[in-house]
Amino acid sequence: MTNQRDAGRMSGPVPPARRGPSPVLQGPSRAGASPGRGKARLRRDRGVEANARLIGATGLVLLIMLFAEGVTIVGIGSHLSWHVAIGLALIPPVALKLGATSWRFARYYLHDARYREAGPPVPLLRALGPVVVVTTVAVLTTGVLAWREGPDAHGMITLHKLSFVAWFAAMAVHVLAHTLRATRLTLADFGTRRQRAAAVYGPLRQGLVAGSLVAGVALGAVYFHLPADWAAWTHRVGFH
């Protein structure tokens, strides 16, 4: 039999449970997660943010360099040395951006929960991504080969021009879609303490971007002077 004390305890109102402050985690919380797992999860999410900032900062550097490269196309003969030098200087930053983007792509499709929560781009940009990668590699590769083979390599020069047209069309959409976000991500590294703390490896990321730029400038400076066959071509067509 149940005594009166037990009956009163069973039939009386149950007081509401007291709620303590809950830790704020990036992304949706999971039931039963321990504080240790929550902290680790926060660190991992900061890593995803760091990857996004690396991609954004490298993209802004490339945007400036590509603008300079575009200026050299006007009167290409008289600006050929600069066109080749800037084109070569683009290679290290492009390699860095492709590496960071490929890492994010791989982690997402390998079902890394951190990157899955960040989500993919919108469908148009998701489909356009491989086109941007392929055409970027094609433009740089054909440009280097055309420069190495000389002005008589008409087939390679034609491929360089055609790949540029395809690249420009894809890149125009890519730049319009990503420039504002890339700017915001880059400025966050120089913003408030909270903004800076939202991602990890700040000095390392900035060092990678700066290092790729220095390596590119060094590469372009080494090969700034045109080979004899290209120099002769500029004189032959009337560019001095």
pLDDT at 1: 47
User: CB of 48 within 8 A of CB of 114?
Assistant: yes
In this structure, is residue 87 part of a structural domain? yes
Mean pLDDT computed over 199-212: 95
Task: Tell me whether residue 172 is in a domain.
Answer: no
Mean pLDDT calculated for residue range 101-109: 95
Return d(Cα 165, Cα 175) in angstroms, integer.
Answer: 15
**pLDDT given at position 239:** 58
Report d(CA 168, CA 171) in Å as an integer.
5
- 109 part of a folded domain: yes
- Cβ-Cβ contacts under 8 Å for 50 (sequence gap 6 or more): 199, 200, 201, 202, 205
Total domain count, the chain: 1
Cβ 82 vs Cβ 61: under 8 Å: no
Exposure string for 42-55, b = 16+ CB within 10 A, e = fewer: eebbbbbbbbbbbb
Please report whether residue 80 resides in a domain.
yes
Q: Is residue 146 in a domain?
A: no
- Whole-angstrom Cα distance, residue 33 to residue 27? 13
Are the CB atoms for 131 and 170 separated by under 8 Å?
yes
Q: Give the separation between CA 91 and CA 215, rounded to whole angstroms.
A: 9
Reduce the DSSP state of residue 122 to 3 states and report it: coil
Shortest CA distance to 59 belongs to which of 213, 218, 164?
Answer: 213
Distance CA 218, CA 52 (A): 27
| Domain membership of residue 112 as a residue range | 42-125+180-231
Residue with the bigger pLDDT between 22 and 153: it is: 153
At 136-183, the pLDDT tens digits run 999 999 999 999 999 999 999 999 999 999 999 999 999 999 999 999
Is 121 contained in some domain? Answer: yes
| Amino acid identity, position 129 | G
pLDDT, mean of residues 7-19: 47
Whether 132 maps to a domain, the answer reads no
Confidence of residue 238 (pLDDT cuts 50, 70, 90): low
| pTM for this prediction | 0.79
Tens digits of residue pLDDT in 47-99: 999 999 999 999 999 999 999 999 999 888 889 999 999 999 999 999 999 99
The helix/strand/coil state of 182 is: helix
Tokens at residue 181, please? 């976000």
Is there a domain that residue 225 lies in?
Answer: yes
SS3 assignment for 19-33: CCCCCCCCCCCCCCC
Whole-number Å distance between alpha carbons of 80 and 84? 6
Structure tokens at 74: 């006007």
The tokens describing 120, both together, are: 């993919």
